[in-house]
Amino acid sequence: MSARRLENLKAVIVQVGSELGRGCALRLASEGADVLVIDPSQERADGVAAAIAAQGGTSMSIQAQVSNEQEIHRLADLCERKWGHVDVLVLIISALDWWSETELSMSAWEECLRINLLTPIFYSTAFRPLLAKSGRGSLIIYGSIDGQRGNPRVPAYSVARGGLIPFTHIMAELCGSEGTRVNYIAGAAIVPTGPEAKPPFGSTADSAALLEATPLRRMATPDDFAGVVSFLASSDSSYVTGSVIVVDGGRTSITPGTAIQN
């Protein structure tokens, strides 16, 4: 595998402020892609762009309210003027609700669905013509295993992420003749880092239980996902489309309650 297998590809990554977004941006840039990094925070977007520059990569940072429909079309227009096409679109758009089903109001459900379901849909449709102009476009939607199984701690988030799975299949069918591949990554929780990091579900006991339910006995890192994103962005995955790729350390591969206690 060439270390520069994404040489000169034009990649857009929407929401780089998270550790996951930052990791994916750095990985694609390190493999030769020109990367447009987008985040609601100009400071975070600039920080990722600076990190890319420090490793010798090429990028541009843009501040945008990522769930605003007018902003989405503005970003698509910007890419068309700058590049004429987009080869890779990575959508890392996520907002957890952390409420039970009985505590969520209708407005809370609507907001969660707007960000986690409708926003990726609008990006996908707004950028579809630019991916088609590439002739080898790759649309990568970051989702969650919660969208496959359902998580009662984050019900609205689970429903929203679940809705993106049939959307992925539909887009793969619609865009196939345009040369664009569309895939969904069903991810698990990423290990928290930094001085203010907290366990993923609020307590050390919860984190221990999560690890116990994961065959690899560790949580995911941003690099675990960045490698999959790089694969889906490259020609190595040229015959992969409409797929749900699970990246969860094996957690959903086992029938619940049957794990062997070591």
Can you give the CATH number for the domain in which 102 is found? 3.40.50.720
Distances (CA, A) of 97 to 54, 130, 158, 189: 36, 32, 10, 15
Domain count of the fold of the chain: 1
* Domain-located, residue 195: yes
Gyration radius of the chain's alpha carbons: 18
Per-residue pLDDT tens listing for the chain (262 residues): 446 899 999 999 999 988 999 999 999 999 999 999 999 999 999 999 999 999 999 999 999 999 999 999 999 999 999 999 999 999 999 887 666 666 778 888 999 999 999 999 999 999 999 999 999 999 999 999 999 999 888 899 999 999 999 999 999 999 999 999 999 999 998 876 654 455 555 556 667 888 888 889 888 999 999 999 999 999 999 999 999 999 999 999 888 777 666 5
pLDDT at 1: 40
pLDDT at 201: 52
pLDDT at 198: 53
Q: Which residues of 19-56 are buried (b: 16+ CB within 10 A; e: fewer)?
A: bbbbbbbbbbbbbbbbbbbbbeeeebbebbbebbeeee
* Domain-located, residue 37: yes
* Domain-located, residue 257: no
| Structural domain of 119 | 10-247
The answer to whether 112 touches 160, Cβ cutoff 8 Å, is yes
* Domain-located, residue 84: yes
* Domain-located, residue 31: yes
* Domain-located, residue 134: yes
* Domain-located, residue 225: yes
Q: Which residue has the tokens 């295993």?
A: 145
Global confidence as pTM: 0.92
* Domain-located, residue 1: no
